[in-house]
């Protein structure tokens, strides 16, 4: 182990997706020199971190997750604000709560949800139950709903803009070298194998997500599909989840464009949007498959019919994009850190990458390179 924290290292990060980028931002703060390898382009659109809705939902995720996800999630929420400030993404983060609702015939889903949360963490005792009046006060366009839970300390990161802003930031830093379109075949202690060559570094980070299957035998992909919708008639300001026995969906607002928008196109982050409309990410399917081909008809029907029942005005929304990707997961669906001499591997963030990455990376660095 290298014990001197002030020793500036020549570090390689393999996989510049979500984990690789948060790692890079952390390591740059310590003054290290970085080389970022990715098999895709540096804009990051191949990464699951680009497809993600970016929800920071330690409570809402507890229904199907362990309480360790809750603890890391709470810590990550504290860390995200500074990470985004560093890359100049000031309006790419919101922490104004999540609304969890269900149709009148599915009230047992809401009961099951709150019971399982209370069984896992004490803090769930304080979750607020809303009636129709309180729901409308919070979100006018959820007026058709009579009962909901409000998880006030949750939020989201604008994941697409996180990827774009971090690319721009790394481009400006002379300590960062990009090796995009570079498929790494194998990673060993302090060494990277690619294109028939071996390159050596003081420390190597393996953050290849699903691309690390050559090392992790029990790593699998879980397919997720999302739609991007735009509407002039819907104004939902918080992540909203509809519980349903078969078609659970979430609606995550993406605002109405960036400050730098010139008409319908943001010159800064290269995202286009119809003027005056609001954008939403609707997701996500969860399918035990590593197929990343386009969204299926079945998934489309499920996601779109479910969102239409949340508010019929979604019927006139425009479908501007759909994305498919795979969440990297282990059998227990928990994240894994492996530290050895000159090598750290971080993987298995499953459906919790944004929720967990800053806290998991903090832990990985403290147990590895900075130990």
Ligand X SMILES: Cc1cc2nc3c(=O)[nH]c(=O)nc-3n(C[C@H](O)[C@H](O)[C@H](O)COP(=O)(O)OP(=O)(O)OC[C@H]3O[C@@H](n4cnc5c(N)ncnc54)[C@H](O)[C@@H]3O)c2cc1C
Give the interface with ligand X as residue ranges (CB under 6 A): 14-20, 37-40, 44, 46-49, 51-55, 183-184, 207-209, 211, 224, 226, 283-284, 325, 327-328, 347, 349-355
Class of residue 247 by CB neighbours under 10 A (exposed 0-12, middle 13-18, buried 19+): middle
Q: How far is the CB of 23 from ligand X (least distance, A)?
A: 9
Q: How far is the CB of 155 from ligand X (least distance, A)?
A: 11
Q: How far is the CB of 121 from ligand X (least distance, A)?
A: 18
d(CA 8, CA 55): 34
Q: How far is the CB of 109 from ligand X (least distance, A)?
A: 20
Q: Which residue's CB is nearer to ligand X, number 2 or number 79?
A: 79
The 3-class secondary structure across the chain, one letter per residue, is CCCCCCCCCEEEEECCCHHHHHHHHHHHHCCCEEEEECCCCCCCCCCHHHHCCCEECCCHHHHCCCHHHHHHHHHHHHHHHHHHHHCCCCCCEECCCEEEEECHHHHHHHHHHHHHHHHHCHHHHHCEEEEHHHHHHHCHHHCCCCEEEEECCCEEECHHHHHHHHHHHHHHCCCEEEECCCCEEEEECCEEEECCEEEECCEEEECCHHHHCCCCCCCEEEEEEEEEEEECCCCCCCCEEEECCCCCEEEEECCCCCCCEECCEECCCCCECCCCCEEEEEECCCECCCCCCCCCHHHHHHHHHHHHHHCHHHHHCEEEEEEEEEEEECCCCCCEEEEECCEEEEECCHHHHHHHHHHHHHHHHHHCCCC
Q: How far is the CB of 68 from ligand X (least distance, A)?
A: 14
Q: How far is the CB of 167 from ligand X (least distance, A)?
A: 11
Q: Which residue's CB is nearer to ligand X, number 253 or number 328?
A: 328
Angle 159-172/18-29 helices, nearest 10 degrees?
A: 40
Q: How far is the CB of 295 from ligand X (least distance, A)?
A: 10
Q: Which residue's CB is nearer to ligand X, number 147 or number 345?
A: 345
d(CA 317, CA 309): 13
Q: Which residue's CB is nearer to ligand X, number 139 or number 323?
A: 323
Let me know: does 243 contact 110? Beta carbons within 8 Å: yes
Q: Which residue's CB is nearer to ligand X, number 262 or number 332?
A: 332
Q: Which residue's CB is nearer to ligand X, number 130 or number 184?
A: 184
* CA distance between the termini of the chain: 7
Q: Which residue's CB is nearer to ligand X, number 102 or number 360?
A: 360
Q: How far is the CB of 146 from ligand X (least distance, A)?
A: 26
Q: Which residue's CB is nearer to ligand X, number 22 or number 135?
A: 22
Q: Which residue's CB is nearer to ligand X, number 115 or number 181?
A: 181
Q: From the CA atom positions of the chain, what is the Rg in Å?
A: 21
Q: How far is the CB of 131 from ligand X (least distance, A)?
A: 28
Q: Which residue's CB is nearer to ligand X, number 48 or number 124?
A: 48
Q: How far is the CB of 321 from ligand X (least distance, A)?
A: 12
């Amino acid at each position: 182990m290298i014990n001197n924290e002030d020793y500036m290292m020549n570090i390689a990060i393999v996989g510049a997706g979500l984990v690789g980028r948060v790692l890079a931002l952390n390591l740059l703060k310590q003054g290290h020199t970085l080389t970022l390898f990715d098999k895709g382009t540096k804009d990051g659109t191949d990464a699951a971190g680009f497809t993600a809705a970016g929800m920071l939902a330690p409570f809402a995720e507890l229904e199907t997750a362990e309480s360790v996800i809750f603890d890391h999630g709470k810590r990550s929420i504290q860390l995200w604000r500074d990470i985004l400030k560093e890359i100049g993404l000031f309006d790419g983060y919101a922490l104004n709560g999540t609304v969890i609702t269900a149709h009148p015939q599915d009230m047992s889903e809401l009961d099951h949800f709150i019971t399982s949360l209370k069984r896992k963490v004490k803090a769930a005792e304080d979750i607020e139950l809303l009636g129709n009046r309180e729901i409308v006060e919070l979100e006018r366009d959820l007026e058709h709903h009579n009962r909901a839970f409000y998880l006030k300390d949750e939020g989201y990161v604008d994941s697409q803009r996180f990827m774009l802003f971090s690319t721009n930031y790394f481009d400006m830093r002379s300590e960062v070298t990009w090796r995009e379109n570079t498929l790494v075949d194998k990673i060993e202690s302090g060494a990277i194998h690619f294109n028939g060559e071996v390159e050596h570094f003081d420390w190597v980070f393996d953050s290849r997500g699903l691309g690390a299957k050559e090392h992790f035998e029990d790593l699998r992909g879980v397919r997720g599909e999302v739609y991007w919708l735009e509407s002039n008639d819907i104004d939902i300001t918080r992540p909203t989840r509809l519980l349903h026995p078969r078609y659970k969906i979430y609606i995550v607002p993406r605002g109405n464009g960036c400050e730098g928008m010139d008409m319908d196109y943001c010159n800064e982050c290269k995202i286009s949007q119809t003027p005056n409309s609001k954008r939403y990410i609707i997701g996500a399917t969860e399918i035990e498959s590593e197929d990343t081909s386009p969204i299926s008809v079945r998934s489309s029907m499920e996601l779109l019919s479910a969102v239409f029942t949340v508010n019929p005005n979604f019927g006139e929304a425009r479908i501007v994009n759909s994305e498919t990707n795979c969440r990297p997961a282990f059998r227990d669906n928990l994240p894994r850190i492996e530290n050895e001499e000159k090598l750290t591997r971080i993987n298995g963030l499953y459906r919790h990458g944004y929720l967990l990455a800053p806290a998991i990376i903090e832990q990985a660095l403290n147990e590895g390179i900075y130990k």
